[in-house]
């Protein structure tokens, strides 16, 4: 079935609407970062850069590390941007732009986020490189998509829903990381459930001047337990990435450079060093995926 011109917008030069990319511009292995300035912090380690493009906050570099073709792309902040990036990346590989039809043979991308995050457990110090075993969304994105849970995800989400039941404004959703990427890129990293919040301040329990509606949100978050599972950190994209990757048939892993300890009330004095460590660790393992 032909996808309409208003559902899938292709620019006059053949590029996808927001990302400004042609299907041939992206590799099958994609690194996403939030900050547009972080794209060159990743691609500076490539042996060769073949393409640099961008529009708005969506900056893309594609190149090679050894024999491996890699795309690094910035998403900007928040799951509303993840909605755009993931639908458009998927369209670039799985929709024929000439016929506007879904291709018969679908491509599954390997997508690795390298992001920054704040820890909520005392034994996850600043400087930790943490792989998200699960993304737990406190935002509203997945209310708009049909998505199914595995048995393990359902059991864990039921426990999470009971723990947060008194927060009537949220409908949490949960998706596991790609096993393949967790066991390669994420091997021997600290692991935990990552909360994706719809904001940086009160939605992550921060208090500056405006009053928070949820008292001691960090205490509520870090006291959750379900078997060996606990919530380790907070950021703003991972749950949307995991959930949309699963819906669209892609593999996803989120690697978090822990810059803040929310329980020790500290923020890293050397954030670039921590992020660089995460970038180098991911790139040193990327040939395995």
Ligand X SMILES: O=c1cc[nH]c(=O)[nH]1
Strands (E), 123-206: 129-137, 173-176, 190-196
**18 with 84: CB under 8 angstroms?**
yes
Could you say which of ligand X, ligand R1P, none residue 254 binds, taking C-beta under 5 to 8 angstroms by partner kind?
none
Residue 45 or 200: the one with the smaller Cβ distance to ligand X is 200
In 3-state terms the chain splits into helix, strand, coil percentages (rounded to 5) of 30, 30, 40
Residue 71 or 204: the one with the smaller Cβ distance to ligand X is 204
Least separation in angstroms between CB 219 and ligand X: 16
**Which helix (H) or strand (E) element contains residue 240?**
helix 238-248
d(C-alpha 97, C-alpha 91), whole Å: 8
Least separation in angstroms between CB 200 and ligand X: 5
**81 interacts with ligand X by CB under 6 A:** no
Residue 21 or 114: the one with the smaller Cβ distance to ligand R1P is 114
Residue 95 or 234: the one with the smaller Cβ distance to ligand R1P is 234
**Which helix (H) or strand (E) element contains residue 253?**
strand 251-261
Which of 20, 62, 116, 281 is close enough to bind ligand X by CB under 6 A?
Answer: 116
d(C-alpha 175, C-alpha 177), whole Å: 7
| Contact track, ligand X, 153-182, x by CB under 6 A | ------------------------------
Sign of CA pseudo-dihedral 40, 58, 248, 4 = negative
Residue 85 or 260: the one with the smaller Cβ distance to ligand X is 260
Could you say which of ligand R1P, ligand X, none residue 153 binds, taking C-beta under 5 to 8 angstroms by partner kind?
none
- Interacting residues with ligand X between 15 and 74 (CB under 6 A): none
**289 with 180: CB under 8 angstroms?**
yes
Could you say which of ligand R1P, ligand X, none residue 259 binds, taking C-beta under 5 to 8 angstroms by partner kind?
ligand X
Could you say which of ligand X, ligand R1P, none residue 204 binds, taking C-beta under 5 to 8 angstroms by partner kind?
ligand X
Could you say which of ligand R1P, ligand X, none residue 234 binds, taking C-beta under 5 to 8 angstroms by partner kind?
ligand X
The CB-nearest residue to ligand X is 118
Distances (CA, A) of 30 to 3, 33, 62, 145, 193: 25, 10, 9, 23, 22
**234 interacts with ligand X by CB under 6 A:** yes
- Phi and psi for 200 in degrees, rounded to 5? -100, -30
Chain centroid offset of residue 227 CA: 25
**How many Cα neighbours within 13 Å face the side chain of 14?**
8
Least separation in angstroms between CB 118 and ligand X: 2
> How far is it between the farthest Cα atoms of the chain?
55
Least separation in angstroms between CB 101 and ligand X: 38
**118 interacts with ligand X by CB under 6 A:** yes
State the residues that interact with ligand X by CB under 6 A: 116-118, 200, 204, 234-236, 259-260
């Amino acid at each position: 079935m032909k996808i309409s011109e208003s559902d899938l917008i292709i620019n006059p030069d053949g590029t996808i609407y927001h990302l400004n990319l042609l299907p041939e511009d992206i590799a099958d292995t994609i690194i996403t970062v939030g900050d547009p300035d972080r794209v060159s912090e990743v691609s500076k380690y490539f042996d060769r850069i073949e393409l640099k493009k961008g529009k708005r906050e969506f900056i893309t570099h594609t190149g090679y590390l050894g024999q491996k073709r890699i795309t690094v792309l910035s998403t900007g902040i928040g799951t509303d941007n993840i909605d755009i990036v993931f639908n458009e990346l998927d369209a670039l590989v799985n929709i024929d732009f000439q016929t506007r039809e879904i291709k018969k043979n679908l491509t599954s991308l390997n997508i690795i986020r390298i992001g920054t995050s704040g820890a909520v457990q005392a034994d996850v110090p600043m400087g930790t490189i943490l792989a998200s075993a699960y993304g737990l969304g406190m935002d509203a994105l997945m209310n708009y998509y049909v998505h199914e849970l595995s048995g393990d995800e359902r059991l864990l989400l039921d426990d999470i829903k009971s723990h947060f039941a008194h927060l009537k404004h949220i409908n949490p959703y949960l998706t596991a990381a790609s096993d393949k990427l967790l066991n390669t890129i994420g091997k021997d990293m600290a692991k935990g459930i990552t909360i994706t919040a719809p904001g940086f301040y009160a939605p992550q329990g921060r208090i500056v001047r405006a009053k928070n509606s949820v008292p001691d949100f960090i205490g509520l978050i870090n006291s959750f337990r379900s078997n060996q599972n606990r919530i380790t950190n907070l950021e703003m994209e991972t749950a949307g990435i995991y959930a949309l990757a699963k819906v669209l048939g892609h593999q996803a892993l989120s690697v978090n450079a822990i810059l803040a300890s929310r329980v020790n009330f500290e923020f890293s004095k050397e954030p670039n060093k921590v992020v660089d460590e995460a970038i180098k660790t991911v790139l040193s393992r990327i040939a395995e995926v």
